[in-house]
């Protein structure tokens, strides 16, 4: 399971089919799920993200978590995080989980993140064509892969 976490001052996701979700200051989380992932990856990643200290304290040092700032979170599914460009120029997505496996893990991730933080988690729509907009604050962008556990 891969997550790209961006500290944002605002972010939104729109879909012609589903509408719009937006957040103010907090985290935009792009989540890629692969076939090898399971619920233990969800638990580990949610714990890591909820405790990630990427928000400034009163001395402008990145020392606070999303829970301490009471920020907002927006989770977007993104299978392209598992693109392989090793062979040729057209990315392969062979590692990305099929919807029947990915959807339950995506939904569990959103639920688990809300439980870990005690905050509301907004999301995009799995498999939908979406337009994502954000203002990256910092910029701060962190990549976490549950396969590496680092």
Catalytic machinery residues: 80
CA dist., res. 90 & res. 18, Å (int):
30
The answer for residues whose C-beta is within 8 angstroms of residue 111's C-beta and 6 or more apart is none
Q: Helix, strand, coil: what percent of the chain each, to 5?
A: 25, 40, 35
CA dist., res. 42 & res. 143, Å (int):
15
């Amino acid at each position: 399971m891969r997550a790209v976490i961006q500290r944002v001052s605002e972010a939104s996701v729109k879909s012609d089919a589903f509408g719009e979700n937006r957040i103010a200051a907090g985290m935009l989380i792009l989540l890629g799920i692969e076939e090898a992932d399971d619920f233990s990856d969800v638990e580990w990643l949610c714990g890591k993200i909820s405790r990630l200290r990427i928000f400034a304290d009163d001395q402008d040092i990145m020392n606070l978590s999303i829970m301490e700032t009471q920020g907002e979170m927006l989770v977007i599914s993104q299978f392209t995080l598992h693109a392989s460009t090793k062979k040729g120029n057209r990315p392969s997505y062979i590692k990305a989980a099929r919807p029947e496996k990915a959807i339950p893990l995506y939904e569990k991730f959103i639920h688990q993140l809300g439980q870990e933080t005690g905050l509301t988690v907004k999301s995009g729509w799995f498999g939908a064509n979406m337009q994502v907009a954000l203002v990256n604050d910092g910029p701060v962008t962190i990549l976490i892969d549950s396969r590496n556990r680092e």
